[in-house]
């Protein structure tokens, strides 16, 4: 398990941190993003997209109402927002198909654990003025195993 911490003083710094994350991304990883409303989760995903080489003309937005947005760069980025999603709806999205050649970034990750058993990069964003961004990468030694509707370990 690897742990890294950053401090972000504004949205552009959060995007820059996300870009660093995106440049290090490996296909098959799930980025489980935790943080309060307005914490900067979508800003971080914008940076991840930039780090993956998603073209600047692709406007990365929160998928709160679309539930899932997909962006193409050097690998596919599947951006999911679980804020309004019920557990039963997850299977309909076929999110796991994006893990073979890309990564999945999940906002409001505490609302589900469908990715149990894959390499998880847990990202916790906290703080009101300055944001503390903690990144914890947990490797999955047992191989990929997706369980839609899975429970917390």
Q: What is the pLDDT of residues 26-52, one digit of tens each?
A: 998 989 999 999 999 999 999 999 999
Cα–Cα dist 36/97, whole Å: 28
The model's confidence at residue 19, banded by pLDDT at 50, 70 and 90, is very high
pLDDT digits (tens, 9 = 90+) for 68-114: 899 999 999 999 988 877 654 666 666 777 777 899 999 988 877 66
d(CA 130, CA 118): 31
* pTM of the full structure: 0.84
d(CA 101, CA 64): 24
User: Residues 114, 95: contact at Cβ < 8 Å?
Assistant: yes
Considering the chain, what percentage of its residues have pLDDT values greater than 70? 79
CB crowding 33-71: b at 16 or more within 10 Å, else e? bbbeeebbbbbbbbbbbbbbebeeeeebebbeeebbbeb
Which CATH code of 2.40.50.100, 3.20.20.70, 3.40.50.300, 3.40.50.2000 fits the domain covering 2-138? Answer: 3.40.50.300
């Amino acid at each position: 398990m690897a742990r890294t911490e950053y401090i972000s003083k504004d949205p552009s710094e959060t995007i820059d941190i996300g870009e660093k994350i995106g440049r290090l991304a490996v296909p098959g990883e799930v980025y489980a993003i935790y943080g309060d409303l307005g914490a900067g989760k979508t800003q971080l995903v914008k940076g991840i997209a930039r780090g993956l080489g998603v073209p600047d003309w692709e406007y990365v937005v929160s998928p709160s109402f679309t539930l899932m947005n997909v962006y193409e760069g050097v690998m596919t980025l599947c951006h999911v927002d679980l804020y309004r999603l019920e557990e039963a709806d997850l299977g309909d999205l076929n999110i796991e198909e994006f893990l073979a050649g890309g990564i999945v970034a999940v906002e409001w990750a505490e609302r589900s654990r469908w990715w149990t058993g894959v390499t998880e990069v847990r990202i916790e964003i906290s703080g009101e003025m300055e944001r503390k961004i903690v990144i914890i990468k947990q490797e999955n030694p047992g191989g990929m195993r997706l369980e839609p509707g899975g429970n917390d370990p």
